[in-house]
Every structure is written in C-alpha cells, then in structure tokens.
Structure 1
C-alpha cells in the first residue's frame, strides 16, 4: 500500500511539473528566433529589408509544426534591452545573449547586400547552448525574386535543424505573401513602425500595401489589428500582434493565468475572446482586476490587457498607477510569451 501511494505521488508530481512547462518545450519543439538582417550597404532606402526578411522567414517557418518561432516583438524587445538597433552588427556572443533572454535554442543572424537589381542574403545559425555557428546559408538572385531567396534560407534552416516537413507544410511555407514588391516594401515598413510603437505610421504603410495588392492577406489582417489596437494604445498595459491563431493564443493566456501564483480566473469566454482575472496584492486589497481581450485575425491574433483599478477591503475602488499595474502582470506575460 505504501509503495502504491509513493508511486501515485511521484506520478502526480511529474504530471504537475509537465503541465507547468511551456507548450513549445513540453512538445519537444525546436525554438528558433530570426533576428533582423543587417544592411551591409548602409543604404537607408533598403532598411525596410532588415525587418522584412526576418518577418517573412518567421512567418514561413511558423508553418512547420515541429518548430516554435519566437515572436518578432519579443525579439525586438530583447534587442532594445541590450540597446542594439536593427542595423547594428550582431556577433555570436550577442546572439547567445538574445537567445537566453527569449528562450531560443537557435538564433538566425543574417545580412544582405544589393548591387544593381541583384541582392544577396547570407545567414549564420548560432547554437545558443554552445555559442558556435552550426551552419551557414547564402542565396543570390534578382530583387524581384526576394521570396525565392528567402525560401532558400528557410530550407537551409530546416536542413540544419534536421526537421521533417510534411507536404502541406512545405506548400504553405513556399506560398508568396504577395506578388507585388512595392506592396511587400510598404508592408515591411508598416511592420517596422508597428514594432517601434508608431501605430499611425503603421496604419498608413499597411493601408498603402493593401491598396497596392488587394489580395495581400497578411497586410489586410495586420491592418485590421492596428485599427483594433489604436483606440486603446495608451490605456493598454500589454498590446501585441501575435503570429499564432486565435484558439492557440486564448489557450496560452488561460494557461498562463492558471499557472501564475496568486491569480484566479473569474470569467472567460472563448466566443468573445475575453478573460477576466483577479490577482492578489497586499492585505489591504481584495486584488487587482485584470481584463484581457483577444482578437481573431485568422492566422494572427491581437491581444490587449487592461488593469486599471483595485478594490480595497472596504469596497472602495481606487486607481492603480501604471507602474504598479504593469509590475503585477509581469509574471503572467512572461509565462504567456514562453508558450508562443
């Protein structure tokens, strides 16, 4: 009987620990982050390619189920923290530092240069664990074939990581987001503005991309996100566009709330994309109210979090300052982003 009880206890503990592991890690996925490509020519007219190539590669590889691609905004946040701009050179040591900050196992560090109408992409794949370059890639072609160049880099990443790709994943990965290079440039500029927090400029660029190519689905959905997010830009403590489908993002946030100590979900409705929770603070309060809204954008999602008030034990609602609120949800966000 004692042996049976001991075995049940161990199994229960193991299951609990497994459930606390972020989804990507629990499934044994390989976590990859694509850093902005370096503009070797220092031509400001081509700076849009720095984020554009990284964004497209992240989206392409995101179709592979056995890979977890770190969200671009998390990458941007890490680069800001170490004060490294999008055009700065990134060596292996810096790549490892970024990888440790965002939980990636492989960091793709790339660069590009253009001569006439020909462009060359180069990439180094850095193993975060060893700090060494595991492989490299290079592709050269006409600028009009920029997506084919990116496909070559993507295939090299897959070969390096020894990942099996299903035929349907291969097909999705090689789909062109648009046939218009002009629309792609405007979209990339819009994403850059979005990552910098300039939603007005992002809306302008994305609207131009959609006008240039009305079939550019990714630009349309990102523009929809910007229009949804802009009215609450200054009141949201957390505002993100996520390159994951709605159901995945909703489940990840729900899991993060359940696994955050002192936090309790009070209401959630997947049909409306809303989650309400309360987090314990001091003994003088009944807790901080947390309201979350998730937007369904097809293969993308939008998420925003408001935490503006708290209740005292006397039933009087008091305003919570921005810093206190953001600090209170930091643990939730950390666990949530690990699952992306």
Structure 2
C-alpha cells in the first residue's frame, strides 16, 4: 500500500451527501486524548491529537466544533485532570458550559513501533456512545492514522469525506500549535519535518518560485531571456495541472525536475548557453534567486516522486533541462525526457548506482535544506522505495543500510546505527565485511558510553563534527580544558560565508548568510541541536582600526530566507544585552549590548554577476527595518559596482529602549511597515523602488554591540 499519496494531503472534510438529521445540529467538543501507554514521555501527545482532530472536524460542514481555547477554560473551571473519565454528570456539566451536544474522546497506545488510536463520540444528554472506532498501524504513519480514525468516525455518522490538498497548511499549523504547547511533544517533532516536506507542493511558489504567472512574467522581462528560455514558460503551467491520475503526477514531477535543473544551471548561463550574466541581471535574477527557486522546484518534484516510482527514478535522476531550441510541442519534448529517465529503471544495477550513492543523494539533501537527521530520513525513504523494486539485491540493501547506519551515528543515534549495521550483516557473507560491521557496533557502544555521561557541550561538539581528545575526556574538570571546549563549541557555531557553511536552520527556518566577513564582526548561532539547527542567532560588532575609539562595522550582516512575498509578518524575541561571559570575543574592550537588530524584505539581486565595476550607480537590493538606541529605522539597502553595501535611511520613529528579552513583530504591507515592540506600535511609510515590492525576506544585524534574535518566524500573507 502506498502511504505517501495519503500523507501529502491534509485532512479536509466536506459534506458530499446529505447528512442525517442528528448530524446537522451536532456541536462537538474534542477532549484531550489520554495516554494508555506506559511511556510518560508520550504524555503530551494527547494535546496534539486533540488539536488535529479539532482542525479536521471543523472542516465538516454538518458539524460545529468548540474552540480548543474555550475547552481549556472549562477544564480549568471543572478542575478536570488529564485522563479523567467522562461520566454522565461530568459530560452534562461540560455540555452546559460550552453549549456542546457531543463529546469526542479518545486514547492512544504506543508499543514499540506500533500505535493504536481509539475514538468515541458521546451524546451529552444521555451519556450514550454514538460511535466507537479504533485504528492501528506503524507509529511513523501517525498523521495517516489520525486522519483514518476521524474519517471512520465521520463516515459512521453518515457524512462522506474527501481529501483536499488545500488544507495542508491548516494541519501543519495544528501540529505547530501542539508543539508550542509541549516542547517534549516527541512524536510530532520527529514527524513534522517529513510532513512539511510533503506539503512542499502547496508552499513552493509562495516560498521561492512565486506564482506561476509571476515567474512567466519574470522570464519575459528581457528579450534575450524570453527567447533563450521560451520553453520554460510552457513548463511552469504544467505544475498547476490538477488531478491525481498517475500520468498527471508523472508530468508534474518531470516538469518540476526540468525546471529545477534549468534554474540551477542559471537558465543556461553556467552551461555557456544563450543567456549572459547581463541578461540575468536585466531580468532581475541573481544566484540566490535562481538557486532558491531551483530548491523549491526540486522539493516539489520530491513530494510526488514516491507516487511515480518506479516509473520515474527519484531525486530527478535522469531528468534535465529541456532544450529551448526545439520547436516541438512541450508535451512531446517532456515525453522524450521522461522516456530517457525511464530507461534507468530498466536496469537495477544502474538505478541503484544512483539511488544508493552519496554523490547523488548529498546534493539532493542540500537542495532540500536537510540537516543530518533529515538526511537520515531521506536515505530511509529511498531505501523504502528501493525495497519495492523487484531487482533489489542483498548488496544493494547492505549499501543502503551501511550508509544509513553511518548517518545515524553522525546524528548521535547510536542505537539506531547499531540496528542498521546489524541489518546490513544479514545481507553479506563476506567475512571481512562481517568483521567490519562488528567493529562498527563496538564503536557505537563506546560512543554511547562516552557521550551518555558527558556534559552537554561535549555532546554538541560531537554533533558538530568535533570529538574531544582522550586528554579532554579524561580532564573535563580542568578549567583549561573547559575553556578550550567552550571556545571550540562557539567556533563550531559560527555561520560561515562559504557556500557549504552559510546555511543554518533557525527555529525550523532555513537561512543563508549573505554578507562577507568583516574584521571585528562575529555571527553565530546559539546551542545546536543538530549540525544545522538552533533556536537563535547571535551577533557582535566591535570597533576596528587604529584610532582610539575605532570605527563601527561597515556592512550590515544579512541572512536571507527562501520566503518571498509582498505582505509579510515577522515575529521574534530580541535581546540587546551585553554578550554573556562565555562568548569568545576578538577585542579586549568591555562587552557592550545595543547592536542593531531587525528584518529584511524586498530582497533581490543579492549576488551580482561579473567583476568589480567602478563608477556604476548603486542599485537597490532590498529594505531593512532595524531597532537600536530607542529608534526604529527603515532603510534602503544599496549595492554599488564595487559590491559595497549602504543602509540609506528612509525614516525613523521612537520605540521603547531597554535590555533584556523583548517580543518584536514587524508587518510589511504595500506602503507601510509597522513594528510592535514592548506593546508599542509605530508605522513608517514605505514606497518600494521599481520591482522591489516583492522579494525575499530575512534578518539583519548591524553596528556596534551584541544582539540576539531568538525563535524567529516569517509568514507570507
């Protein structure tokens, strides 16, 4: 059974047949699910299930659903404890307080890799159970199990349901809310990234590619672009083709792959095609825009790739840019590319030489913005697909298992790594290979013992690729060793300007450093939970030069996301206090706070083409709203032909000034930028220059002093 097709959709419910009379007047209150498992770490999953079921039932036209916040108040008023049973008296009290006619109650049981969900619909007036259903399956298919449970309950009530791609975002929002309520919502945290990846086809154009018509319009801005890549304008509409027929999905995947390859090759510029760097600049493209668009298209292709395997190989293998010189109809051209790619699936040796090869998978992981745990899941999904292929051999299985085992070790999952090495041992008879697997399992045992009792800083260093030396492990109490480890971990948290090191994932949001290094400027993350993930960004700008006071840093430190739009909302917590005592500094001056911190929007043409050009007028590459010294400043970001950056003031307003953590919100609308800080709201007029109204969004630091951006989010409205 293929689960991916079901998982790519969130559960939207609509009435397709006339409901029975009792359903038309039902007002349902969904209670928190109870934990029937023995594992207390899964306790908070009940709130997540409550939130998801509430979202699903709210989309049934024949039902009215009580808001979860109202239920929370009632539970507090009645002093209902977690897992308390609902007798007739309690049910009646709840119904009276919230005006509900029915309660939906449920429980969950997790044993090993298996999960069971139970749900019951109770009539408040009588206490009778109207419907009782259960569903069981793999724990990894948590979302699907919840959806199937609700579907069965609703079906028994006489309401037919269907799946609808348009509700993906609602389901993700429900999961995010549940995760926010309980940081230890472990099942959701393990599954959410995969689910969000599967929703990429809904978010793709909003995050990077823009609407199809916008992208086609962009291609038409310059005659050289329009003539050289005319075929791309015909591929974009294929992505909007509706329907889930196998051939329709096949064409969508192939079109997304062809477009992704075209944008990653910079519309042929990298391949010395008809497009020049000047053409790209004139059309408003740059390296960052092209590569983020290519990433989003690749994610779009990957979201449906499991559904068309093995008719097409995954990861866009064998699917490349469609030639712009061929005048044949686009369906015919795309068909040729599909036929060429399908040849790979006719030979198991060739197919698995691509699928189980890090030379293929590692770039794909980069395009999907995955940290090491994400790479583990990517390899696991490829292996899952490979096992469905009739020609898979023991050697292919061992290759997958060996690589997954090593990645799990890098992620700190030593038990999972050992299990995969043990699985690989069943697929070889070579004595030297079996001996190697035994040694790898022994190494996992040693690492688990060493790191299990080690301080958090040592475990973080391991995740960042630096294992402490034997001397350091044996002398963790030595102040000199502690200082060395502290300096090492902060160095490892630095956000590099190099291509490989510039990506970090902050609060789940991929960000790329866009500003080159400058003496006296430090840009790091807070503690990492994986090789790329952290909750916050930290900056310090210090004086440079030989003057007594020195000069402030020249360049704003910019980090861009793949989010793009005209209307944006930014939320974050900022802190402009002095740097903490363990922060390694590059100057001996006393630490100070007050670094300017803010947001970026309208970003475009971030990376220019060609060399330095003297005397060329500066161009606008975006806008910034920063906060420092009790002022909110709106600035235009300019870049000249020598790649110097300037923040040119467009206006400012007074805002509260203090140290410590503060909630900050910025909303960007055509004509106005509004910032809310410490509850005070100020607005500044904004008139975008030329075609800069829509661009990428991000975050920025500048000036002297230390500053932090914690748990940032960006919403495209």
Instruction: Tell which has more relative contact order, 1 or 2 (C-alpha 8 A, sep 6+).
Output: 1
TM-score, normalization by structure 2: 0.23
Structure with the bigger percentage of helix: 1
